[in-house]
Amino acid sequence: MPRRVLENNNPSVSSFERGLAMNPHKLKLELYVSGTTFKSIRAIANLKEICDQYLQGRYELKVVDIYKDVLLAKKRQIVAVPTLMKMWPAPRRMLVGDLSDKKKVLRALGVRIEV
């Protein structure tokens, strides 16, 4: 079986280390919603406000409509919506609700704010 060539031709570099070297401070987020329900729209707006205010340029966000991507929702074991998942960096975190509690969201994302 042929050995896969990794970036920089260095098979000892783990995918985690490559990701860290490329984007050391970028959060990867997934927000699961159910169509255009009130709670889904509110969660998107609340998360956008939080990201614009505290994470500008330091995040990647993927919004997933569970009706359009059922397989991904099943894979991630989404049982309630809206659900925000912090995928990277570890540890993974999951928040359910409309994300209106900014302090709770920031704490779950590992973002420290100065008062």
For 28-86, the pLDDT digits (tens) are 999 999 999 999 999 999 999 999 999 999 999 999 999 999 999 999 999 999 999 99
| Alpha-carbon torsion, ordered 96, 100, 106, 107, to 10 deg | -60
- Which pLDDT value is given to residue 114? 67
CA separation for the pair 15, 41 (Å, rounded):
34
- Which pLDDT value is given to residue 113? 77
- Which pLDDT value is given to residue 111? 87
Give Cα 92 distance to the centre of its chain: 9
Topology annotation, domain 26-108: Glutaredoxin (3.40.30)
- Examine residue 82 and say whether the peptide bond preceding it is cis (omega within 30 degrees of 0): yes
CB-CB contact of 88 with 28 (8 Å): yes
- Which pLDDT value is given to residue 2? 42
pLDDT digits (tens, 9 = 90+) for 11-34: 444 444 454 445 556 899 999 999
- For the segment 7-14, the average pLDDT, to the nearest whole number, is 44
pLDDT for 4 beyond 70: no
Q: Which helix (H) or strand (E) holds 74?
A: helix 70-75
Query: Burial letters for 21-45: b for 16+ Cβ neighbours within 10 Å, e otherwise?
Result: eeeeebbbbbbbbbeeeeebebbbe
- Which pLDDT value is given to residue 23? 55
pLDDT for 9 beyond 90: no
Any residues with CB less than 8 A from the CB of 5 and at least 6 apart, and which? 11
